[in-house]
Structure 1
Amino acid sequence: MDFTVTYEPTPDEVARALEQGVRQQLRTTYLILPLVLVASGLICILVDATYTGTLMLVLAVVFPFVLNWSIRRTGKRQLTYLCVPTTIRLTDDGYEARSDHFTSATQWSLFGRIVTGPEFWLFFVNKQFTGFLSRRAFNGEQQAEFDAFLASRQSARVT
């Protein structure tokens, strides 16, 4: 595998990728914290601490919305850095990304997990979301080749 593409991510695309990546990273928090708040809220209500219980129930409902808003707000600060024409080169060893604002090269072995989705490839190091590549940047043949490459790396890691 060795191909080079140039593309410019859109602000909406960056926001969606960040949201998906951080949501994957914080999957446990997204599930457990609201459940803990609901359980604690119900217990508080049962022991006549109604105000505290009601507050916990409201927080359980509001928490996912606040977290998504926070992720989008953080992403908006990085748009001028990320939404620029970028040249990406994928090889068997890793990938390089270059723009007027940055240059980076990363070996595939650095990533503990790469999530393949319908819109993005999401990259994780030590369970932390570190970046993404948009499928839109690549033609169908390149997407298939990269998916096959990732699948072969995954099967090699399992055996």
Structure 2
Amino acid sequence: MDFTIRYEPAPDEVARALRQGLKRQLVMVYRILPSVLVVAGLACIWADAVFLGVGMLVAAVVAPFVATRAIRRVATRQLAYMCVPTTIRVTSEGYECRTDQYSTTMQWSMFGQVVTTPEFWLFLVNRQPAAFLPKRAFNSEQQAELIDFLAARQNAGTS
């Protein structure tokens, strides 16, 4: 396998890929952190630290909204770097992504997990999104070859 494609990702496409990749990481912000804050807040109220307890309860409600806004701000800044003409080279050894601003080369062995969505292949390193390939950038033959290749790598990694 060795093919090179050139495409320009759309801002909404990159935003969806980032959102899907970050969704797994945000479980802590949206579920665990508020739960801990509620328990801690109730414990503070029970221990007569009412002001601190109420503050933690308010933080439990506000934290997910603040996190969402902060993530959107960071993602918006990243879009300027990612929504440019991009050349992707995919080989059996790895993945290379080049633009006028940056160049990234990663070996397949770096990716601990590949998540397949209807639009993308998301590549994770230590459960964090590291790269994505938009399926629309590849023709049907290339997509089929990638699907087979990634499935074989995943099966080899689990055996």
Give the shorter-chain TM-score range: 0.7 to 0.9
How far apart in 2 are the matches of 1:102 and 1:11? 18
For each residue in 1:63-87, what CA deviation from the matched residue of structure 2 results, as whole angstroms up to 9, or x when unmatched?
2222222122112222222110111
Aligned to 1:137: 137
For each residue in 1:4-44, what CA deviation from the matched residue of structure 2 results, as whole angstroms up to 9, or x when unmatched?
22211122222222232223234344431111112222333
How far apart in 2 are the matches of 1:36 and 1:80? 36
Unaligned runs of 5+ in 1: none
Change (3 A) 1:142 1:90: same
Aligned to 1:102: 102
How far apart in 2 are the matches of 1:22 and 1:87? 24
TM-score scaled by length of structure 2 = 0.84
Q: Which amino acid aligns with 2:137?
A: A
Indicate the percent of aligned positions where both proteins have the same amino acid: 60
Aligned to 1:54: 54
Alignment of 1:64-143 (within 5 A): 64-143=64-143
TM-score scaled by length of structure 1 = 0.84
How far apart in 1 are the matches of 2:88 and 2:137? 9
Change (3 A) 1:69 1:119: farther
* 1:19–1:71 Cα contact (<8 Å) kept: no
How far apart in 1 are the matches of 2:27 and 2:145? 29
Change (3 A) 1:142 1:65: farther
Task: Give 1:107 shift.
Answer: 1.0
How many equivalent residue pairs? 159
